[in-house]
C-alpha cells in the first residue's frame, strides 16, 4: 500500500481567533486538564486527528510560542463552535494554559487528520494520546459505525475515558477495552495486550482493518508492528516540538522510514513534517529508531 | 503616558534602501516565513514591504535531526540546519510563485564558500521576480571554521565585491552577531559594495536536559531568537548604523509596533520580523498596518524622519 | 517526570578549582552581592562556596549617571560603570570584614591596562583574607578600544602571565562573552597561567524610550544579564570547557538549582549566581542548600561527577 | 543644617516573606490600584517613608525584578501585620502586580523613612506620591500631632485622599488642602499654591517647620525651594530605578548636590543611593538638574 492512500487530504484552512474559556480544570485523576473553548462559528470544523496551536491571551511576558494540542472534542451550539482539549501540564507552556481561565488564542485547525477507512477500526490510545481518538470515536458514533477502542494508561489516575470528556456513547457493536500497567483499572498490562481479546481478533478476519493510534512514539511503533502482522493499515498521530504548526518554521521533522515511498511533492525527502505531512501518518512511513 | 498625537495625517512609510524602495519598512525575515508564498492566498502580502526567502543553497539540504526548536525564557533556540529545497527546485518550483507576490522579494542565499555564493547569484540573475539578494553570512563552513568561517572582514569584503560585480540587483549582507566587532564586519561589507547590511541573525546558544544528560536540540547548539535578544540586537544596530553609510536592516525579537520603531530610532532603515511569525503568521502584516499611526502619534512625519533619530553622544557607542 | 532517586546519601559538594577547594560550587558573582560582607549578619555565608567582590579599581570610581538599570524580557540591562571605593578604601574598610567571612573570598580586579592590574595584585598580595583574584577582562579601556580592549588573545595571555608571576593565590580570568571566539580567549588565559576562567560577563545591549527618543540607560549601552542570557552562557561554557584544561566557572541567568546543574553538565566546575541576588539576597545560599539533594536525585554522587557529563559529539561544538 | 541631622537612622532589618493578597483593586478614579497584603507578625513594622520590594508569587516567567513601592498603610491585627500599597500600573512590573491576586513576595522594610521633627509638619503629595505621606499622617494622628496635608494631582480621578485608603482622621488642628491642575476637585492650581493658605502660612511663624514630600522629582525640587525661602527643613522621598532595594546592585543613584556635605561613611561621594541613603533625604542634598 502506498503511503499516500491513507493520508487524509491536507486541510489548511486555518484561522486564528480568540476564544472564551468555558471550562479549564484538572480532571478527577488529577493528572490531566480538560479545557473547552468557545470560538466563533466561522472557525472551520476540525477533522479527528487535526490539532490547533494554543496560547493564553494575553500571553504572559516570558512565554513565546503557542503549544500544539489535538482536538479532543468539537461541537456546534447556538452560534459557536466549541473545542475540547485534553492536556497534561509538563512545562511552562502547558502551565500557562492551565492558569489562563479567561481567553485563549487558537490557531487552527491544522495538519492532516485520520483518514476514514471502510473496514474495521481499531483505536489505540496511550495515556493522554486518547485525545484525538475521542473525536474520532465520536465521529464514528455519529455515523453509527462501530469501533474497537483500546484505551491504555499507566494507572487509573492517568486513564481518561471518552465519557470523562462528556463524549457520547459508541455505536452498537463497539468494543471498549481498558488496560492499566498496574492493573488499577481494567485489565492489567499494556494497551496492545488487548489485541488478543476475541472480539478484537475477530475484526482482523474482515478486510480493510485499520489501526488509529496516538500516544508515546514507542506505542505508535508497536502499533505499526501489530498492524504489519495482521496485514492492517495504520494512521498514527505524531508529536514533535513545533514552533509554528503551519509549515513555515521547519522545526517539526520526524525522520522518514528508509525506503518508504516519498511523494513527488514532498518538500524534504529525509523528513516528514509533523504539522503538514502529519500529524496523522501511516506508521511504516516513520523511522522510529531515529524519531525523537 | 502616551504623548498626544501631533498630527492626524498618516506618516509616509516609503522606505529607501539604497537602490531599492519598499512600500513600508516591514520585511519578513529569512527562515521564518517559509519561502514567502505559503500564505499568499490567506494574508494580504501587499501590506508588507517585502519578504526574504528561506536561505537557499546550491544543493538541497535535509537539515538537522530533531529536536529542532526549544523554547527558552522570552526566546527560542533553533537548529534547523539550513533545510531547503536547493537552487534547482527553488528556480522551478518557488520562483514562479514568488514572482507574483505583491511585495519585494529578496532571495536569501547561503554558501560554504564565496564560490558557492557566486554560482547562486549567477544562476538567479537569469531569473526574474527577485528584487535583491540577502547573503546569509552565518552559514557554517563545515571544513573551515564552522559558523565562524565568515567572521572575517577580508573574506566578507572580497565576497561582497565578487557578488556585486555579478548582479544589478540589491545586495544585502546579513551578518552574524556572534563577533567581537560587528561594525568591522559591516564596514567590510560596505567596502565590498553591499547595498545594505542586515542584522542580527541568531545568537549561538544551547539548552540541556538534566534527566537525559543531553542537549535539548538535535545538535549541541542552536541559534537564539525572539524578545530575549532584542536588547542585544538594538545595540548592534545602533553601533553598526553609526559605522557605515549604507542602510541597516534591523531585527531581533520584534513583536510589537513599538519594537519596530525602536529599531528605526537607533538607526535601522527597515526591519525584519522573524520569530513573531510563528506565533501568528500575520504578525508582519499586522505590524505594518500599525506603523503609520504610531509614527504620527510620536510626532514623526515619515519612516525616514525616525531613522537614527536617537541622540548619539560623543565617544564610542559601547560603554560597558 | 522526575527520575527516582538513585541514592539517598547526600552528594559530595567539594569543588576543586585547581589550587583552590570550595565547600560547594556556588559562588556569588561580582557586582551582584556588594563586596560580599553586606549581609553577613543576616545570611549564613558558610553555605556558599565563596563570594567574588564588586570589581575594585586602583582609584575610586563614581560610576555612570542614572538610569543604571532597566528590565527587559527575562533579563536586565545594567550600566553601573564599575562604581567602587577604589583600592585604598577596599584595603582599609572592606578587607578586614571580608577576611572574617566563613567562605572563600575572591577579589574582582579591574584595570584599563595590564599595569593597573599588576599594581592591584601587588598591593593586595600584602594583605591577608583573600583566596584569589578574578580579573574582570570586560573593564573598558577608555582610550584604546573601549570594552574591546581586552578582546585580544595576546594581551590576555601576557597579562595573565604577568599577574600569575606576582601571586601565590588563585587567578581567575573573567572573560567577556562579546567575542567571536570565546575558546581562543580562554586558551590565551590558560597559556598565561590562569587557574580558571570565569564566564560569562554581561552581553552588550540597550533599550530605548520612544517617547523621549533616548536611551533608557544613562549611557547608550549596558550589559544584559538574567535568564534571557542563560542559553548563550551555557553554549559558551560548553565550548570553552572543551577547549581548555583549567576549570571553568560558569554563570549567566542562574535562578534555580536545575540551572546550576545545567552549567555543571556542560562543563562548568563551579558556578556564580548574579542577578538572582537582586530578587532575593539569599538566592545563592538557597541554591547551595538544594544542590546536594538534586544531584542525588539525578544519580550523581558528587559535583565532580557531573562536571562535563554531557555527551560531546565529534566535530566542533558550534553547529549553527 | 547638616544633611545628617534630618536623616532617620538606617533601619535595615528587612526580611523576605510571602504574603496573602487581602485586597488588590483599582480605586474608584480608575487610575491607581490599592493592595493590602497580610504578612506574618514577624515582619518589622515599617517607618513612614520606608518602602518594600514587591513581586507576584509565583513570578510570571518573563518578569525578573521586584518593584519598589512605598508603604502607604501599616497595621497589626490578630497575628498579622497588614501593609497597604498604593500603586499605578505603568509597565510590566506593576501590571503583573495588578494581576496577582493571591500571593505577593515582600522584601522589606527598606531604606530610610521620614525623620520626625518637633516643629510644624507640612506634607506635600504629588499624585500617587501621596502613599508614604498617608502613613506619616497616620503616625502623626496616632501621636495626636496636627499636620498640614497638601494633596495635589492632575485631576479628581488622579487624586487619592488618605480616607480612600481607609486611613483614620487627622489630629485636631490639622489642615487638609486639595488641589487639582484642572480644578476638578479642591482648589485649581498646583499643590504648592496651597502654601499661601493663611493656616499654612501661620505654621512657618513657629520654629522648626519641616516639609515632607513625595511625588515627581520636579515637585520635590520645588519643595526644596519653598523650604529654603521659608527657612524650613525638608525630607523628600526619591524615586529611582531599583534592582535590589538592599544596596548591593548600585543602580539607584541620584546625583548629590554640588557642595552638599558628604558624610564620612558615604560609599560614593558623587551619588546618593536611593535605597540606602534614602529614599527620604533633605531636598538640598540632591542635584535636581541631573537627577533622572
Ligand atoms: C500535533 C500534536 C498534538 C498534541 N496533542 C496533545 C494533547 O492533546 N494533549 C497534550 O497534553 N499534549 C499534546 N501534545 C504535546 C504538547 O504539545 C506538549 O506537551 C507541550 O507542547 C509541552 O509544552 P510545555 O511548554 O508545557 O513543555 P516544555 O517545557 O516545552 O517541555 C516539557 C517537556 O515536554 C516535552 N515536550 C515539549 N513539547 C513536546 C511535544 N510537542 N510533544 C511531546 N513532548 C513535548 C519536552 O521535551 C520536555 O521534556 C501534542 C503535540 C503535537 C505535536
Ligand atoms: C522608593 C520607591 C517608592 C515607590 N513607591 C511607589 C508607590 O508607592 N506607588 C507607585 O505607584 N510607584 C512607586 N514607585 C515607583 C514604582 O516603583 C515604579 O512605577 C515601578 O517600578 C514601575 O515598574 P513597571 O515595571 O510597571 O514599569 P516599567 O516598565 O519598568 O517602566 C514604566 C515606566 O515607568 C518608569 N519607571 C520605572 N521604574 C520607575 C521608578 N522606580 N520610579 C519612577 N518611574 C519608574 C519607566 O522609566 C517607564 O517610563 C516607587 C519607587 C521607588 C524607588
Ligand atoms: C526557525 C528559524 C529559522 C531561521 N532560518 C534562517 C535562515 O534560513 N536564514 C537566515 O538568514 N536566517 C534565519 N533565521 C534567523 C532570522 O531570520 C532572524 O535573523 C533571527 O531569528 C532574529 O530575528 P527574530 O528574533 O525576529 O526571529 C531563522 C530563525 C529562526 C527562528
Ligand atoms: C548590576 C550588575 C553589576 C555587575 N557588576 C560587575 C562587576 O563589577 N564585575 C564583574 O566582573 N561583573 C559584574 N557583573 C556581571 C555579573 O557578575 C555576571 O557576570 C553577569 O551578570 C551574568 O550573570 P547573571 O545572569 O547571573 O547575573 C554585574 C552584573 C550586574 C547585573
Ligand atoms: S511546526 Fe513549524 S513547520 Fe511544522
Ligand atoms: S536598588 Fe540596588 S543599590 Fe539601591
Interval between CA B31 and ligand 3 midpoint (Å): 5
The interface predicted TM-score of the complex, written ipTM, equals: 0.95
According to the model, what pLDDT value does residue B315 have?
A: 53
Taking CA atoms only, the protein residue closest to ligand 4 atom 5 is C31
Nearest to A154 by CA among A215, A245, A69, A99: A215
User: What percent of chain C has a predicted confidence (pLDDT) above 90?
Assistant: 90
Task: Please state the rounded mean pLDDT for residues A8-31.
Answer: 85
Atom of ligand 6 at shortest range from CA of D242: 1
Ligand with an atom nearest the CA of residue D274: 6
Query: On the CB side of C162, how many CA atoms lie within 13 Å of its CA?
Result: 17
Which residues does chain B have within 8 Å of residue A248's beta carbon, measured at their own beta carbons?
32-34, 38-39, 277-278, 281
Which residues of chain B make contact with C72, given a CB cutoff of 8 A?
A: 227, 230-231
Q: Does B74 touch chain D (CB under 8 A)?
A: yes
Strands ordered across the beta sheet of D233-237: D187-188, D175-180, D148-153, D121-126, D210-214, D233-237, D280-281
Q: Which residues of B are catalytic?
A: 139
Contacts for C89 with CB less than 8 Å, ≥ 6 apart: C60
Q: In which element (H, E) is residue B164 found?
A: helix B153-164
Average pLDDT of every residue of chain A:
93
- Residue-level pLDDT at C317: 46
Nearest to C266 among B147, B208, B309 (CB): B208
What pLDDT, on the 0 to 100 scale, is given for residue C144? Answer: 73
- Report the distance separating Cα A167 and Cα A154, nearest Å: 22
Which residue from D67, D110, D245 has its CB within 8 A of the most atoms of ligand 6, so it is best to mutate?
Answer: D245
State the cell numbers at B17. Answer: 534602501
pLDDT for res B277: 97
What sections of chain C are H helices per DSSP? Answer: 86-89, 95-98, 114-125, 153-164, 182-191, 230-241, 257-265, 276-279, 283-297, 303-306
Q: Read off the pLDDT band of D12 (50, 70, 90).
A: low
- Cα separation, C90 vs C112, whole angstroms: 18
B219–C319 CB contact, under 8 Å: yes
Separation CA A265–CA B279 (nearest Å): 27
Asked if residue C9 has pLDDT above 80, the reply is no
Q: What average pLDDT does range D84-112 have in this prediction?
A: 96
As given in the structure block, the three cell numbers for residue A192 are 496492545
Q: Chain B residue with minimal CA distance to A243?
A: B278
Mutate to test the interface with C, among A62, A88, A127, A128 (most CBs of C within 10 A): A62
In the predicted structure, residue D7 carries a pLDDT above the cut 60: no
pLDDT of residue A11: 45
Higher per-residue confidence, C207 vs A9: C207
A269/B279 Cβ within 8 A: no
> Candidates C223, C229, C278: which one to mutate for ligand 4, based on the most atoms within 8 Å of Cβ?
C223
CA of B34 to the centre of ligand 5 (A): 10
Is residue D185 a contact partner of residue D212, using CB atoms and an 8 Å limit? no
- Measured distance CA(D160)–CA(A120) in Å, rounded: 72
Residues of chain B contacting C236 with CB distance shorter than 8 Å? 204
Please name which ligand lies nearest the alpha carbon of D160.
2
Q: For C292-303, what is each residue's pLDDT tens digit?
A: 999 999 999 999
Is residue C23 within 8 A of residue C13, CB to CB? The reply is yes
- Half-sphere exposure of residue C164, counting CA atoms within 13 Å on the CB side? 18
Task: Go through chain A and tell me how many residues it has.
Answer: 292
- pLDDT value, residue B4: 45
Residues of chain D with pLDDT > 90, as a percent, come to 90
C-alpha C201 – ligand 4 centre gap (Å): 6
Q: Which residues of chain A does D60 touch, with a Cβ-Cβ cutoff of 8 Å?
A: 60-62
Q: Worst-scoring range by mean pLDDT, C20-34, C135-149, D238-252?
A: C135-149
- Lowest mean pLDDT segment, chosen from B228-237, D5-14, D203-212: D5-14
Mean of the pLDDT values across residues A88-92?
95
Nearest CA in chain B to A93: B71
**Residues whose beta carbon lies within 6 Å of some atom of ligand 1:** A 51, 67-70, 86-88, 90-94, 128, 131, 239-242, 274, 279; B 71
Q: Are A106 and A18 in contact (CB under 8 A)?
A: yes
* The C-alpha cell that represents C302 in the structure block: 558528587
* Residue C1 Cα, gap to closest chain A Cα (Å): 8
Look at residues A14, A66, A74, A34 and name the one whose alpha carbon lies nearest to residue A251.
A66
| Upper half-sphere CA count for residue D59 (Cβ side, 13 Å) | 21
Burial of D287 (0-12, 13-18, 19+ CB in 10 A): middle
CA-to-CA dists, residue A34 to A71, A94, A180, B245, B258, angstroms: 11, 12, 21, 57, 36
Cell of A166: 462528556
Q: Is C176 in the pocket of ligand 4 (CB under 6 A)?
A: no
Give the model's confidence band at A8: pLDDT under 50 very low, under 70 low, under 90 confident, else very high.
Answer: very low
* Higher pLDDT among residues C141 and D196, named by residue: D196
Residue A258 has pLDDT above 60, yes or no: yes
Cα-Cα-Cα-Cα dihedral sign, residues B61, B64, B67, B72: negative
Residue A199's SS3 state is helix
Tens digit of each residue's pLDDT (9 = 90 or more) over D72-86: 999 999 999 999 999
User: What are the DSSP calls for C153-218, one per residue?
Assistant: HHHHHHHHHHHHTT-SSEEEEEPPS-SS-HHHHHHHHHHTT-SEEEE--PEEE--EETTTTEESSS
pLDDT (0 to 100) of residue C320: 42
Nearest to B68 among A105, A241, A269 (CB): A241
CB atoms within 10 A of CB A257: 20
The residue to mutate among A10, A50, A66, A249, having the most atoms of ligand 5 within 8 angstroms of its beta carbon, is A249
Separation between Cα atoms, residue C147 and residue C138, nearest integer Å: 6
Which three-class secondary structure state does DSSP give residue A286? strand
Does ligand 3 lie within 6 Å of residue B254's CB atom? Answer: yes
pTM for this predicted structure: 0.95
Beta bridge partners of D279: D112
Q: Which residue's CA is the closest to the ligand 4 atom numbered 28?
A: C31
D113 and D49 in contact (C-beta within 8 Å)?
yes
Q: Which three cell numbers stand for residue A157?
A: 489516575
The answer to whether B66 contacts chain A (CB < 8 Å) is yes
Contacting subunits of A (3+ beta carbon pairs below 8 A): B, C, D
Which pLDDT value is given to residue C315?
A: 53
Helix B114-125 with B153-164: angle, nearest 10 deg: 20
B231 vs C contacts (CB less than 8 Å): 72, 75, 77, 205-207, 224
- Mean pLDDT (chain B, rounded): 93
My answer on whether omega of the bond before C67 falls inside 30° of 0, hence cis, is yes
Give the CA radius of gyration of chain B. 19
C33, C57 Cβ separation under 8 angstroms: no
pLDDT of residue D65: 97
Per-residue confidence band for C7, with pLDDT thresholds at 50, 70 and 90? very low
Give residues with Cβ within 8 angstroms of D142, minimum separation 6: none
Given pLDDT bands bounded at 50, 70 and 90, which one contains residue C312?
Answer: confident
Rounded Cα distance between B220 and B218, Å, is 7
A&D contacts, CB < 8 Å: 17
Question: C74 touching A, CB under 8 A?
Answer: yes
Average pLDDT, chain C: 93
Q: Which of D93, D251, D270 sits opposite C80 (nearest CB)?
A: D251
Q: Does D61 touch chain B (CB under 8 A)?
A: yes
Using CA atoms, how far apart are residues A82 and A87, in angstroms rounded to an integer?
16
Annotated catalytic residue within C13, C27, C103, C139: C139
- Residues of chain B found within 8 Å of residue C309, distances taken between Cβ atoms: 213
For C92, residues 6+ apart whose C-beta sits below 8 A from its C-beta are none
Phi, psi of D119 (to 5 degrees): -85, -165
Q: How far is B287 from chain C (nearest CA, A)?
A: 16
Q: How far apart are CA C209 and CA C1, in angstroms?
A: 43
CA distance D271 to D291: 10
SS3 of residue B204 by DSSP: strand
Unique residue bearing C-alpha cell 563551579 = C270
Quick one: three-class SS letters along chain D? CCCCCCCCCCCCCCEEEEEEEEEEEECCCCCCEEEEEEEECCCCCCCCCCEEEEEEECCCCCCCCCEEEECCEEEEECCEEEEEEEECCCCHHHHHHHHCCCEEEEEEEECECCCCCCCCEEEEEEHHHHHHHHHHHHHHHHCCCCCEEEEEECCCCCCCCHHHHCCCCCCCCCEEEEEECCCCCCEECCHHHHHHCHHHHHHCCCCCCEEEEECCHHHHHHHHHHHHHCCCEEEEECCCCCCCCCCCCCCCEEEECCCCCCCCCCCCCCEEECCCCCEEECHHHECHHHCC
Q: Is the CB of B47 under 6 A from ligand 3?
A: no
Q: Which region, left, alpha or beta, applies to residue D259 given φ > 0 means left and ψ of -120 to 50 means alpha?
A: left
Residues C99-113 have a mean pLDDT of: 97
Question: What part of C 201-230 touches A (C-beta under 8 Å)?
Answer: 227
CB contact under 8 A, A271 and B63: yes
Please say whether the beta carbons of A64 and B71 come within 8 A.
Answer: yes
Average pLDDT of the segment spanning C208-224: 96
C-alpha cell at C120: 592591584
**Average pLDDT of the segment spanning A242-256:** 97
pLDDT range class, residue A4, cuts 50, 70, 90: very low
Span B252-290, pLDDT tens digits: 999 999 999 999 999 999 999 999 999 999 999 999 999
Q: Do B89 and B65 contact (CB within 8 A), yes or no?
A: no
Give the Cα separation of C267 and C199 in Å (integer).
12
Report the residue from D16, D63, D243 with minimal CB separation from C69.
D243
Among residues D184, D227, D287, D237, the alpha carbon closest in space to that of D69 is found at D237
Phi, then psi, of C131 in degrees rounded to 5:
-100, -15
What torsion do the CA atoms of D278, D282, D286, D292 make, to the nearest 10 degrees?
Answer: 50
D245 pocket-lining for ligand 6 (C-beta < 6 Å): yes
Ligand 6 site, residue D243, Cβ cutoff 6 A: yes
Is the pLDDT confidence value at B112 over 90?
Answer: yes
- Do residues C100 and C138 make contact, with C-beta atoms less than 8 angstroms apart? no
C-alpha pair distances (Å), C246 with each of A227, C124, C195, C202, D199: 55, 24, 6, 22, 75
Closest by CA to A274, choosing from A249, A262, A258, A121, is A249
Amino acid at each position: 500500500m502506498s503511503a499516500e492512500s491513507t493520508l487524509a487530504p491536507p486541510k489548511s484552512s486555518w484561522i486564528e481567533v480568540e476564544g472564551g474559556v468555558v471550562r479549564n480544570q484538572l480532571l478527577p485523576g488529577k493528572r490531566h486538564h480538560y479545557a473547552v473553548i468557545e470560538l466563533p462559528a466561522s472557525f472551520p470544523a476540525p477533522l479527528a486527528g487535526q490539532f490547533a496551536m494554543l496560547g493564553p491571551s494575553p500571553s504572559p511576558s516570558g512565554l513565546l510560542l503557542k503549544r500544539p494540542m489535538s482536538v479532543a472534542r468539537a461541537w456546534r451550539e447556538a452560534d459557536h463552535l466549541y473545542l475540547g482539549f485534553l492536556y497534561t501540564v509538563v512545562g511552562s507552556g502547558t502551565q500557562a494554559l492551565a492558569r489562563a481561565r479567561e481567553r485563549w488564542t487558537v490557531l487552527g485547525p491544522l495538519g492532516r487528520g485520520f483518514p476514514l477507512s471502510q473496514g474495521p477500526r481499531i483505536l489505540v490510545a496511550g495515556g493522554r494520546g486518547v485525545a484525538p481518538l475521542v473525536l474520532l470515536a465520536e465521529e464514528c458514533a455519529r455515523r453509527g459505525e462501530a469501533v474497537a477502542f483500546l484505551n491504555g494508561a499507566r494507572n487509573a489516575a492517568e486513564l481518561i475515558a471518552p465519557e470523562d470528556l462528556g463524549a457520547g456513547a459508541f455505536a452498537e457493536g463497539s468494543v471498549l477495552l481498558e488496560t492499566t500497567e498496574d492493573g488499577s483499572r481494567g485489565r492489567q498490562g499494556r494497551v496492545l495486550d488487548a489485541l488478543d481479546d476475541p472480539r478484537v481478533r475477530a475484526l482482523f478476519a474482515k478486510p480493510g482493518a485499520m489501526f488509529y493510534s496516538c500516544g508515546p512514539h514507542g506505542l505508535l511503533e508497536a502499533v505499526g508492528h501489530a498492524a504489519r502482522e495482521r496485514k492492517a493499515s495504520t494512521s498514527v498521530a505524531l508529536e514533535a516540538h513545533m514552533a509554528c504548526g503551519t509549515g513555515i518554521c521547519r522545526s517539526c521533522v520526524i525522520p522518514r522510514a528508509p525506503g518508504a515511498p516519498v511523494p513527488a511533492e514532498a518538500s524534504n525527502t529525509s523528513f516528514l513534517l509533523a504539522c503538514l505531512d502529519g500529524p496523522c501518518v501511516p506508521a511504516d512511513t516513520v523511522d522510529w529508531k531515529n524519531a525523537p | 503616558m502616551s504623548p498626544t498625537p501631533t498630527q492626524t495625517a498618516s506618516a509616509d512609510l516609503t522606505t529607501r534602501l539604497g537602490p531599492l524602495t519598499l512600500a513600508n519598512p516591514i520585511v519578513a525575515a529569512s527562515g521564518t516565513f517559509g519561502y514567502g508564498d505559503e500564505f499568499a492566498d490567506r494574508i494580504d502580502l501587499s501590506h508588507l514591504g517585502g519578504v526574504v526567502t528561506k536561505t537557499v543553497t546550491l544543493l538541497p539540504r535535509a537539515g538537522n535531526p530533531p529536536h529542532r526548536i526549544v523554547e527558552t525564557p522570552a526566546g527560542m533556540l533553533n537548529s534547523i540546519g539550513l533545510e531547503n529545497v536547493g537552487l534547482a527546485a527553488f528556480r522551478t518550483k518557488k520562483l514562479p510563485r514568488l514572482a507574483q507576490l505583491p511585495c519585494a522579494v529578496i532571495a536569501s542565499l547561503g554558501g560554504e564558500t564565496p564560490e558557492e555564493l557566486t554560482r547562486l547569484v549567477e544562476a538567479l540573475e537569469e531569473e526574474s521576480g527577485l528584487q535583491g539578494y540577502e547573503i546569509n553570512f552565518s552559514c557554517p563552513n563545515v571544513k573551515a571554521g564552522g559558523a565562524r568561517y565568515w567572521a572575517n572582514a577580508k573574506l566578507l569584503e572580497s565576497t561582497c565585491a565578487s557578488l556585486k560585480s555579478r548582479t544589478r540587483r540589491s545586495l544585502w549582507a546579513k551578518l552574524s552577531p556572534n563577533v567581537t566587532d560587528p561594525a568591522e564586519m559591516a564596514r567590510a561589507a560596505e567596502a565590498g559594495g553591499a547595498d545594505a547590511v542586515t542584522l542580527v541573525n541568531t545568537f549561538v546558544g544551547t539548552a540541556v536536559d538534566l534527566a537525559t544528560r543531553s542537549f535539548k536540540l538535535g545538535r549541541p547548539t542552536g541559534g537564539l531568537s525572539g524578545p530575549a535578544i532584542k536588547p542585544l540586537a538594538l545595540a548592534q544596530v545602533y553601533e553598526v548604523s553609526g559605522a557605515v553609510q549604507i542602510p541597516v536592516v534591523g531585527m531581533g525579537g520584534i513583536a510589537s509596533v513599538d519594537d519596530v520603531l525602536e529599531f528605526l530610532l537607533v538607526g535601522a532603515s527597515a526591519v525584519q520580523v522573524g520569530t513573531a511569525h510563528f506565533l501568528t503568521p500575520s504578525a508582519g502584516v499586522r505590524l505594518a498596518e500599525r506603523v503609520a499611526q504610531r509614527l504620527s502619534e510620536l510626532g514623526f512625519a515619515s519612516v525616514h524622519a525616525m531613522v537614527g533619530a536617537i541622540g548619539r553622544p560623543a565617544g564610542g557607542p559601547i560603554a560597558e
